[in-house]
Structure 1
Amino acid sequence: MADFNATFQKTLDILLEEKKYSSAKDILSTMAPEDVASVLQELDEKPAALLFRLLPKKIAAEAFVEMESDFQEKLIKGFSDKELTAILDEMYVNDAADIVEEMPANVVNRILSNVNAETRTAINQILQYPENSAGSIMTTEYVSLRLGTTVGQAINQIRRKGSDKKSFYTCYVTQNRKLLGRLSVKDLLLAKDDDLLIDDLMKTNVISVDTHTDQEEVVQIFSKYNFMALPVVDKEQNMVGIISFDDAIDVMEDETTEDIEIMAGMTPSDKTYLRTSAFSLFKHRVGWLLFLMVSATFTGMIITNFESALSQLVVLTAFIPMLMDTGGNSGSQSSVTIIRSLSLGELGFSDIGIIIWKEIRTAVLCGIALSAVCFAKVMLVDRLLLGNTDVSAMVALVVCLTMTVTVLVAKVVGCTLPLFAKKLGFDPAVMASPLITTIADTLSLLVYFGIAKFFLHL
């Protein structure tokens, strides 16, 4: 896709240089809005604004929604009020609300002053809900049918108003705003009689979410039931909007990206990599790096404390990196597995007993396998091939026993910390590789030196 964009960019540059704007418009009009947004953002501001104005209103509005907020702001500043109103009129309410949320105050005021009162009320309604809640990502544009409506009347209503709705494949039956049932366009089209009441076709076991439901839970519901849309109700069970499948996919992508960045020891960013400055990357990364660097002081203190023991048998120092790395890797495996299961809703804090018991059994098997290979490696490679006579069978036993205990401790810590983080209201992804590795390093050293002092009498 990147190669395609690069090739197309060159073609577009040539057309602009030769002032063949009509040809450029024709090409852009055949492209998906997402690709149009990508292409325009690579152009300078003036030619991008020129081409944007030439696009059909619907394509322009859809492409505008896909653009980065800083580029949207530049375009808005160059729009006349009439142009801005035309673009906003083609947008769905939740998309307009997302744009308003990203803009500075002066741009927000201008946007709100160029939409009709009904749209302004809907935007303000969405913005009042907590960030990352179902209410903040819903749209108020959906197909609502009344009890007593016939199949023929319902189809005619969809024909008249469906083009203005975010999703019309699923329709919702309401009475005095109360959600009573749902049915699909397929149900209507396959009905045997146009005079049949939708009351007899609708499904009454409607799954819905509250406006304050966390968006991660919303994504889990979409994943479980394969919905095209999900109704949103308020505290009085009045239907206030829907969340469409494409919005759920966007949330899923954002949540996954955020988890990956947190698990890698970075502060999440809402910008793409190429549009993030080096200084912004520095700000997102340096905090965790500083924390992990300072936390490594504990491992240094442990080594210093056992310095006299190490001086008696220096060969023990050679196995420290291997044991620390194994402990960190073991803990990371468990933490990542549990974090992923938590995000999918497969596990909860009530499962902690089952989880710990399963990880203990896994750790014992892993520890035995690793220790067996480690013993052979220490005796064959370190003692025989490298000729290190200080590596005795007892030293190998200490290293292997440490390996087993370290794997066990690291896996138990790795599986429990995300559960406690979730229980306390933190993002479990915080308890991922960097932090678990640091904790496992500290514990592996304590175990190593404790076992060494006991068996080798240091």
Structure 2
Amino acid sequence: MENNVMEEQLRTLSELLEERRFSGAGAIVKDMNPADAAWILEELPEQRMPVLFRLLPKELAADTFAYMEPESQELLVQGFSDRELDEVMEQLFLDDTVDMIEEMPANVVKKILRHVDSETRRMINQVLNYPKDSAGSIMTMEYVDLKRSMTVEQAFERIRRTGVEKETIYTCYVTDSRRKLLGIVTVKDLLLARKDEVIRNIMETNVKYVSTHTDQEEAARALSKYDFLALPVVDAEERLVGIVTVDDAIDVIQEEATEDIEKMAAIAPSDRPYMKTGVFATWRKRVPWLLFLMISATFTSGILASFEGALAASMVLTNFIPMLMDTGGNSGGQSSATIIRGLSLGEIQYRDVPRVLLKECSVAMLCGGTLALANFVKLLLVDRVALTVAAVVCVTLVAAILVANIVGSSLPILAKRLGLDPTVTASPLITTIVDAVVLMIYFNIAKAVLGI
């Protein structure tokens, strides 16, 4: 229903802009949610986008700008007058400004930096100097800080005076003269306390925080674990330098999940939306892995060629190769997906390898036994193969699932131990390895049992 409303608004706005009825278009967008306004702007033709953007109220325009894709932001910045750019930059929060600058070409960055004050420029440079994907790189320095000697009344005065420029005012941070983090206090705590109560008596001193060099994914997990709206970020001397807010954490989780999904599908990660990624860009992301997997799959062909004599002696064996390889690949994919999830959530560590392998081997034997039993009945009653052939296929099936689970569970943990992303070892690579191993097991069992 909501999508239909948005589509209808888009059509209406397009018609109003086409007919140059700007007051009508402005009336529609003036109370719109910033995220919805950003979507509509980006769906309009490029020549219409700046026109509608200029119809937005000043504060809504800045919020909407923060939601837009870098390409759309660049287009608008290129067309902004100095006054318009001043108004947008004045309203943007620091972390949104940094995110924008990271995606812009150098000439646009220079234009933007000319329209921010020296203090903001200093903070931008400080955030940009933190390692990529660290908590420092996604934090904002716009938070409310209080002193422990303040009374509740004084705290509210400070919040009213400085809170307009801050990203969040619900959680306030108590620091000393050196900005060392001493505690936190929420607006709820302040509202429920007496006006003359001193902050040190109501602040929470058991503070959870991360450092500027903590991985951004770990910071996002901490926000999720403790149900915080914001998480303080400290430097090496435990001085408060910024906060990571929950909206930043959601962005990180989405980006990391998207990246993991793409790697698990053997696609080089991309930070651009699918519909805005060109054919050749998509080709460049996919073809390297496809080439690697194609070349690695030639090992399977080599194994088949080496057992050509066995196949010629018992052609019926050929019929079950796809089933065995697919089942092994599917089982390995299930195992790797489970382990990769556990690694990403911090549930599995390198020291857990023996327990993980024992569990996966137990699961493999149960799954393999169930599938082998069902397959054995099918082979005898439906396919009507010889008892010995059915035995070879079913024993291989159990072995295939066992090998697949061992490979699927151990490779991601090994990759993590070596400092690699575990997702690069996911389904396509595991399937290639398992296929080769399963074929070797299959034909060696067949040679031993059938004497071929």
Q: Same-fold call, TM > 0.5?
A: yes
1:157 CA displacement: 1.2
SS of 1:180's equivalent in the other structure is: strand
1:131 CA displacement: 0.7
Whole-angstrom CA distance in 1 between matches of 2:215 and 2:257: 15
The one-letter code matched in structure 2 to 1:165 is K
**In the alignment, is the contact (CA less than 8 A) between 1:148 and 1:197 conserved in 2?**
yes
Whole-angstrom CA distance in 2 between matches of 1:2 and 1:305: 58
The one-letter code matched in structure 2 to 1:210 is S
The one-letter code matched in structure 2 to 1:433 is S
SS of 2:169's equivalent in the other structure is: strand
Q: Which residue of 2 aligns with 1:370?
A: 371
Whole-angstrom CA distance in 2 between matches of 1:3 and 1:337: 37
- Measured against aligned partners, the alpha-carbon deviations of 1:118-144 in whole angstroms (never above 9, x if no partner) come to 110111111001110000000000000
Worse overlay, 157-166 or 130-139: 157-166
- Is the counterpart of residue 313 in structure 1 residue 307 in structure 2? no
> Unaligned regions of 5+ residues in structure 1, if any?
384-390
The one-letter code matched in structure 1 to 2:188 is K
1:275 CA displacement: 1.0
- Measured against aligned partners, the alpha-carbon deviations of 1:108-127 in whole angstroms (never above 9, x if no partner) come to 11111110011101111110
Whole-angstrom CA distance in 2 between matches of 1:279 and 1:35: 30
1:5 CA displacement: 3.0
- Measured against aligned partners, the alpha-carbon deviations of 1:160-195 in whole angstroms (never above 9, x if no partner) come to 21121111111100002100000111000011x111
Whole-angstrom CA distance in 2 between matches of 1:98 and 1:112: 13
Q: Which residue of 1 aligns with 2:354?
A: 353
1:47 CA displacement: 2.0
2:450 pairs, out of 422, 441, 456, with 456
Which residues in structure 2 correspond to 1:277-356 (within 5 Å)?
Answer: 277-356=278-357
- Is the counterpart of residue 63 in structure 1 residue 64 in structure 2? yes
- Measured against aligned partners, the alpha-carbon deviations of 1:192-214 in whole angstroms (never above 9, x if no partner) come to x1111000001111111010100
- Is the counterpart of residue 186 in structure 1 residue 183 in structure 2? no
- Measured against aligned partners, the alpha-carbon deviations of 1:235-282 in whole angstroms (never above 9, x if no partner) come to 111110000011101111111111111111111111111111111111
The one-letter code matched in structure 1 to 2:321 is I
- Measured against aligned partners, the alpha-carbon deviations of 1:81-120 in whole angstroms (never above 9, x if no partner) come to 2211110110000100111110011111111111001110
1:65 CA displacement: 1.1
The one-letter code matched in structure 1 to 2:433 is I
Whole-angstrom CA distance in 2 between matches of 1:420 and 1:58: 50
Aligned residue pairs total: 450
**In the alignment, is the contact (CA less than 8 A) between 1:133 and 1:215 conserved in 2?**
yes
- Is the counterpart of residue 404 in structure 1 residue 398 in structure 2? yes
Whole-angstrom CA distance in 2 between matches of 1:422 and 1:216: 15
SS of 1:168's equivalent in the other structure is: coil
1:45 CA displacement: 2.4
- Is the counterpart of residue 198 in structure 1 residue 199 in structure 2? yes
> Unaligned regions of 5+ residues in structure 2, if any?
none
The one-letter code matched in structure 2 to 1:311 is A
Q: Which residue of 1 aligns with 2:438?
A: 444
Whole-angstrom CA distance in 2 between matches of 1:165 and 1:377: 68
SS of 2:208's equivalent in the other structure is: coil
Whole-angstrom CA distance in 1 between matches of 2:441 and 2:415: 25
Q: Which residue of 2 aligns with 1:392?
A: 386
**In the alignment, is the contact (CA less than 8 A) between 1:220 and 1:345 conserved in 2?**
no
Whole-angstrom CA distance in 2 between matches of 1:101 and 1:306: 55
1:361 CA displacement: 0.6
TM-score, scaled relative to structure 1: 0.97
The one-letter code matched in structure 1 to 2:393 is V
The one-letter code matched in structure 1 to 2:408 is G
- Is the counterpart of residue 424 in structure 1 residue 426 in structure 2? no
- Is the counterpart of residue 40 in structure 1 residue 41 in structure 2? yes
Worse overlay, 255-264 or 10-19: 10-19
1:432 CA displacement: 1.0
Which residues in structure 2 correspond to 1:86-105 (within 5 Å)?
Answer: 86-105=87-106
- Is the counterpart of residue 163 in structure 1 residue 177 in structure 2? no
RMSD over aligned Cα atoms: 0.9
- Measured against aligned partners, the alpha-carbon deviations of 1:377-407 in whole angstroms (never above 9, x if no partner) come to 1111111xxxxxxx21000000000000110
The one-letter code matched in structure 2 to 1:339 is I
1:46 CA displacement: 2.7
Whole-angstrom CA distance in 1 between matches of 2:27 and 2:262: 40
Whole-angstrom CA distance in 2 between matches of 1:38 and 1:142: 29
- Measured against aligned partners, the alpha-carbon deviations of 1:32-59 in whole angstroms (never above 9, x if no partner) come to 1111111011112232101111211111
1:2 CA displacement: 4.1
SS of 2:231's equivalent in the other structure is: strand
Whole-angstrom CA distance in 2 between matches of 1:180 and 1:238: 9
The one-letter code matched in structure 2 to 1:211 is T
Which residues in structure 2 correspond to 1:11-90 (within 5 Å)?
Answer: 11-90=12-91
Whole-angstrom CA distance in 1 between matches of 2:133 and 2:342: 20
1:291 CA displacement: 1.0
The one-letter code matched in structure 2 to 1:409 is V
Q: Which residue of 1 aligns with 2:216?
A: 215
TM-score, scaled relative to structure 2: 0.98
Whole-angstrom CA distance in 1 between matches of 2:426 and 2:27: 49
SS of 2:144's equivalent in the other structure is: strand
Whole-angstrom CA distance in 1 between matches of 2:260 and 2:113: 34
SS of 1:375's equivalent in the other structure is: helix
1:427 CA displacement: 0.9
Whole-angstrom CA distance in 1 between matches of 2:10 and 2:149: 55
Q: Which residue of 2 aligns with 1:10?
A: 11
